[in-house]
Structure 1
């Protein structure tokens, strides 16, 4: 079981940030606004993909405390990209503290989505470990 270096985890999160923010900004710039139901489906599918990625990462880990934290870092990139795309156009008109809106929203989303992914990954790891242990004793 190989443990990836933290710099790679931060790099994957940064890449996810660029892809999500770039993709959503391009859609906004090109005035491609699908119906609300389609937008909701895309957001839900994105959240499921992030949760699945974090769960897979945590399930492979050795130390749940470290891996859960890394899972939240993984989730931070796409969550911050989504929050920045959502809040920056609106919040720049509101206050000079507009930078806080996407940062706080991105961190809250990453904590929620990353936490769910970490919990799912931990359950998968425990079930897999117990299933293997039961298989060995029989």
Structure 2
């Protein structure tokens, strides 16, 4: 098993990459079409779910791995939420900081849970194949 500090580091790196990339696009006024933006968001969500699923499928304790998967998902989800909410919420009262945090947490929980379910399904199928081939 990987140490939890490495999982947090990967999540933090994903946060920096997502937030940095999206912020760079905004600063350079590179606004792709709505269809292209949707494709990027969908592809990002699929990558997060796939990463969490792979993480959960490899581990021993599903509950622990699922929790770590949600931590993995939190980095990119928080980066996306910060990029999305900060420009529009800075006019709000000081509680505007809660928008990206709550948004990132909700996205991470949703995508992490889907990834954990997919990873668990992969483990079950793999275990059945192994038990069938051993018989």
Query: Structures share a fold, TM > 0.5?
Result: yes
Equivalent pairs counted in the alignment come to 135
Q: 1:17 matched to which residue of 2?
A: 15
1:95 CA drift (Å): 1.8
TM-score, normalised via structure 2 length: 0.99
Question: Offset at 1:87?
Answer: 0.1
* Structure 2 unmatched runs, 5+: none
Residue aligning to 2:96: 98
Please name the residue that 2:29 is paired with.
Answer: 31
Counterpart residue number, 2:54: 56
Select which of 98, 101, 124 maps to 1:126. Answer: 124
The alignment yields a C-alpha RMSD, in angstroms, of 0.4
Determine which structure has the larger helix proportion and give its number: 2
For the residue of structure 2 that corresponds to 1:94, the secondary structure is coil
Q: Deviations over 1:28-76 (max 9, x none)?
A: 0000000000000000000000100000000001001100000000000
| Structure 1 consecutive aligned stretches of length 4 or more whose deviation exceeds 3 Å | none
Aligned equivalents of 1:121, 1:55: Cα separation in 2:
4
For structure 1, which runs of at least 5 residues remain unmatched after alignment? Answer: none
Distance across 2 between alignment mates of 1:77 and 1:114:
11
SS of residue matched to 1:99? helix
- 1:72 counterpart residue number: 70
Question: Is 1:115 aligned with 2:113?
Answer: yes
